[in-house]
Amino acid sequence: MPVESEPTDSGQFNAEIQECVAELTGRIIGQVDRIAQRLAVPAIFIKALHVLDAPVAMKEMGRRMHCDPSFVTAVADMLEKRGLARRAAHPGDRRVKHLILTGEGCELKQRLEAELSARMPWSTGLDDTERAQLLALIRKMLRASPPAGEAVPDGDGPGDLAASLMAAGLASAADGEVETSLGATPAAG
């Protein structure tokens, strides 16, 4: 593969990185949208199912999905309506509701995760060594301090590559769909 010449100006270099990251994010969002359409589920289900790795408190789910509680409630309602998840009271505090995947929800999550993994650009365009390098670089960026005076959002830190990119990409991909189908607005940020 030919090596492209690197810009000599750091501003130009950063601009090219931003452009490439934006294009990559767009491609990832497109893949997610195509998978969601093929499986006849809203794209937000992919993100919701991804964060449901065990019984999750609704508040925690909102934190993981980077959205407000009313949006999480609407997503939970949709998952329950389709038989993919159910709500249950926390054993120690009945005021806290957990969202738990059903058997059907677990099966759909496994199918979605396998399809996403197979279709992501790093799976098709990079070898194992390059994927390891990419993962190390992404984790390094996630550990980097934010600009002075800017707080790190809750829950953001080193994580697996898919979770990091999905968290960054799916929220914006689903905004229009969610506003239309739920009447809810995701939280900014």
Measured CA distances, 108 to 58, 73, 122, 157, 167 (Å) = 20, 20, 23, 27, 19
- DSSP 8-class letter at 146: P
Please give the residue that has the higher pLDDT: either 40 or 159. Answer: 40
Per-residue pLDDT band for 160 (boundaries 50, 70, 90) equals very low
11-143+158-182, CATH topology level: Arc Repressor Mutant, subunit A (1.10.10)
Minimum mean pLDDT range among 17-21, 37-41, 75-79, 92-96: 92-96
Q: How far is Cα 56 from Cα 127, in angstroms, rounded to an integer?
A: 34
What does the alpha-carbon distance between residue 3 and residue 63 come to, in Å, rounded to a whole number?
40
Its pTM stands at 0.66
**Type of residue found at 133:** Q
* Residue 20 one-letter amino acid: C
- Sheet-wide strand order for 56-57: 56-57, 97-101, 85-89
Which whole number is the average pLDDT over 101-107?
Answer: 93
